[in-house]
Amino acid sequence: MSEEHGLTPRQVEIVRLISLGCSVKEIAKLLGLAPSTVDNHRARAMEILGTDKAVLVARLAMWYGITTPDETLTPAEKRKSGRPDDGWN
């Protein structure tokens, strides 16, 4: 599927990072946003995707082509987050 999800570009960024295992605090750090702002975008994205389960966000992100099973954090994202690995490792 592609852009049939109805998410904003910012919500897509957040869904992608959630699907890679990032916490709200990590996403806020990566995107330069307040954690409360990330939480608001996350909640709205989950509402649009029709789930109240965070664990289903990764599956839906793959379904809609937002991420792939082999996708990882970019080197810049790893540096900013301070993580040695991405969410799939």
pLDDT value at position 1? 40
**pLDDT tens by residue, 11-34:** 999 999 999 989 999 999 999 999
How many independent structural domains does the chain possess? 1
CATH (domain of 47): 1.10.10.10
Instruction: Judge whether 61 lies within some domain.
Output: yes
Coil, helix or strand at residue 7: coil
Instruction: Judge whether 58 lies within some domain.
Output: yes
Q: What is the residue range of 60's domain?
A: 9-74
Q: What is the mean pLDDT of residues 73-86?
A: 78
Counting beta carbons within 10 angstroms of the beta carbon of residue 57, is it exposed (0 to 12), middle (13 to 18) or buried (19 or more)? Answer: buried
**pLDDT tens by residue, 34-60:** 999 999 999 999 999 999 898 899 899
Quote the percentage of the chain above a pLDDT of 70.
Answer: 89
